[in-house]
Amino acid sequence: MSEDTQSHKEKMQERQAQQRKKVAELKDPDKGLVLVHTGAGKGKSSSAFGVAVRALGWKQKVGVVQFIKGKWKTGERQFFDRLGEVTWHTMGEGFTWDTQDRDRDIAAAQAAFGKAREMMESGDYDLIVLDEINIAMRYDYLSVDEVIAGLDTRDKRTGVVLTGRDAKPELCAYADLVTEMTEVKHPFKAGIKAQRGVDY
Amino acid sequence: MSEDTQSHKEKMQERQAQQRKKVAELKDPDKGLVLVHTGAGKGKSSSAFGVAVRALGWKQKVGVVQFIKGKWKTGERQFFDRLGEVTWHTMGEGFTWDTQDRDRDIAAAQAAFGKAREMMESGDYDLIVLDEINIAMRYDYLSVDEVIAGLDTRDKRTGVVLTGRDAKPELCAYADLVTEMTEVKHPFKAGIKAQRGVDY
């Protein structure tokens, strides 16, 4: 064994010991976590659907309520429809800039959140994705207070992922985990169209 | 219609017009894009699997090569195994700190990348996820030059997502899109264990 290999081995053994010690000190959470995916970069919704895939892999029960996006045909929607294992509700009004009636938008967001609250309280789900709900709060279709009140009444077993840019600070303070996706380099800026599969 | 509703309608109409103009000016890319998911935050791999789900929703062909993570049983692996639609290869050595033989790690990474290159060149895939490959470059198991050379020989139709923290600057310069996931608030820091479904 070369010297390099030997020092690599020692370093890796030390790292392994540290890792085991760290893990042994951690405790299981007593309830499903609240995760927020925000920021101007890509990956907020797709990573929520990746988390859904993980949960399904462990045979957990997953629900999705999509705020804002409705009319657009998305790959994720087609995939999960075909799979038939996920309860899926869409607010059903298309992008906000496709509707021009604020009162209708508010009513749609409220109805969608009513559905979400029902699912969170039911105890039937391990994971619920509230996709783009931060946008509904940003436009004041939903208040952050009512969203937090809804999260508070969720069943102990249920984790919730809330996605969308411009997450409210009060929601971030309430959440167990907040991840910000930052756009470092984006093809749209270079004049390239959104692509099936990658972008929707 | 109230004044508020009226001004909302005008704002939304203007936004819609701007959006349509922007989209009309965009061009379709002439090849599959190279996407990098990096940063210290969560969501790098899960969002790659979310993109995989989108692609599958559009009946695209998806392949995954996982670097580093091998022994650990993950939700995503179980899910896609059960689904049976994704070609999946794992380097098969567990986390780096589980192996203590640098030469073996290098050989395993090289073999995995050989498989990845074969898949990229084949023209059989719309999307290939090279999960945690940035870690393999960070440990010098793979050079960034050989990874870029491999990406260069990929079939025109094939998009590639490369994940893992500490992406090499040369790779980011080469990529079409780079997203950085930043940890704003993390439950591990509060002493909570990784959870099935959410974390793996």
Nearest to B67, CA basis, from B99, B40, B35: B99
Check whether A99 has a pLDDT greater than 80: no
Tokens of A196: 């099936």
Largest CA distance in chain A: 72
- Contact call for residues A182 and B182 (beta carbons, < 8 A): yes
User: Could you tell me if B150 lies within 8 Å of chain A, comparing CB atoms?
Assistant: no
The average pLDDT across A89-113 equals 75
Q: Which uninterrupted H or E stretch holds A106?
A: helix A102-122
Q: What is the pLDDT of residues B26-65, one digit of tens each?
A: 556 678 999 999 999 989 999 999 999 999 999 999 999 9
User: Could you tell me if B172 lies within 8 Å of chain A, comparing CB atoms?
Assistant: yes
What's at B177, amino acid-wise? L
Check whether A103 has a pLDDT greater than 80: yes
Residue % of chain B over a pLDDT of 90: 60
Count of CB pairs separated by less than 8 Å, A with B: 271
Q: What is the pLDDT of residues B150-191, one digit of tens each?
A: 999 999 999 999 999 999 999 999 999 999 999 887 655 555
What is the set of domains in chain A, with CATH numbers?
A: 32-190 (3.40.50.300)
Task: Tell me how far apart the alpha carbons of residues A198 and B56 are, in angstroms, rounded to a whole number.
Answer: 10
Q: Which residues of A touch B167 (CB under 8 A)?
A: none
Q: Which residue has the tokens 């974390």?
A: B199
Check whether A148 has a pLDDT greater than 60: yes
Task: Tell me how far apart the alpha carbons of residues A162 and A175 are, in angstroms, rounded to a whole number.
Answer: 9
Task: Tell me how far apart the alpha carbons of residues A83 and A106 are, in angstroms, rounded to a whole number.
Answer: 31
Q: Which uninterrupted H or E stretch holds A176?
A: none
- CA A183 to chain CA centroid, nearest Å: 18
Q: Indicate yes or no: CB of B29 within 8 angstroms of CB of A193.
A: yes
Q: Which residue has the tokens 């009319």?
A: A71
Q: What is the pLDDT of residue B97?
A: 47
Buried-exposed string A41-60: b where 16+ CB fall within 10 A, e elsewhere: bbbbbbbbbbbbbbbbbbeb
- Candidates A12, A25, A96; nearest CB to B100: A12
Closest-CA distance of chain A to residue B115, Å: 23
Q: Which residues of A touch B72 (CB under 8 A)?
A: none
Q: Which residue has the tokens 């984006």?
A: A186
- Work out the mean pLDDT of chain B and round it to a whole number: 85
- What pairing do the DSSP bridges indicate for beta strands B177-185 and A177-185? antiparallel
- Work out the mean pLDDT of chain A and round it to a whole number: 85
User: Could you tell me if A31 lies within 8 Å of chain B, comparing CB atoms?
Assistant: no
- Per-residue DSSP letters for A16-29? HHHHHHHHHH-B--
Q: What is the pLDDT of residues A167-189, one digit of tens each?
A: 999 999 999 999 999 988 765 55
List the single residue in B with minimal CA-CA distance to A78.
Answer: B57
- Candidates A39, A50, A196; nearest CB to B48: A50
User: Could you tell me if A45 lies within 8 Å of chain B, comparing CB atoms?
Assistant: yes
- Coil, strand, or helix at residue A129? strand
Q: Indicate yes or no: CB of B26 within 8 angstroms of CB of A193.
A: yes
- What pairing do the DSSP bridges indicate for beta strands A159-163 and A127-131? parallel
**Phi, psi dihedrals of residue B185, rounded to the nearest 5°:** -160, 125
The average pLDDT across A71-92 equals 88
